[in-house]
Copies of this chain bind each other. A is one copy, B any other.
Amino acid sequence: MTAAHDMLFRTLADPTRRAIFERLCRQGEQTVGALTAEAGVSQPAVSKHLGLLKEAGLVRDRHEGRQTHYSAQLGALAPLMDWTREMAGFWESRFDDLEDLLKRMDQ
């Protein structure tokens, strides 16, 4: 439960890694070479990041000859959206409670 959030937050916390993911979101499927050209770090570093993104379910890979194509898996962001909404929800419900209280005090 919280372990999934862990992986998501931790995976997206690194700027280099998040930039790779963003690029895949914006521009669709990319090869490791193409990603490396823009990443500002070495190819092994990019591969490592892609490995972690894949473990987190944020990307898919597709092998074609000697190159590997990666693409974003947007569905993996759902738990993150849910979590954020949940936190906001708690806040609102506490606010509603306060409103109720004030209303009752008003009478």
Interface residues of A in 65-80 (CB under 8 A from B): 72, 74, 77, 80
* A5 interface residue per 8 A CB criterion: yes
Contact A84 B87 (CB under 8 A): no
As for how many copies of this chain the complex holds, the number is 2
* A99 interface residue per 8 A CB criterion: no
Known: A12-B9, A15-B6, A81-B81. A87 touches B28 (CB 8 A): no
Residues of chain B with a CB closer than 8 A to A13's CB: 6, 9-10, 12-13
Main secondary structure of the interface of A (DSSP, over half): helix
Contact B94 A28 (CB under 8 A): yes
Known: A10-B13, A13-B10, A18-B9. A25 touches B87 (CB 8 A): yes
Contact A91 B9 (CB under 8 A): no
Least CB distance from A26 to B in Å reads: 5
How far does the alpha carbon of A22 sit from the alpha carbon of B90 in the complex, in Å? 9
* A42 interface residue per 8 A CB criterion: no
How far does the alpha carbon of A10 sit from the alpha carbon of B11 in the complex, in Å? 9
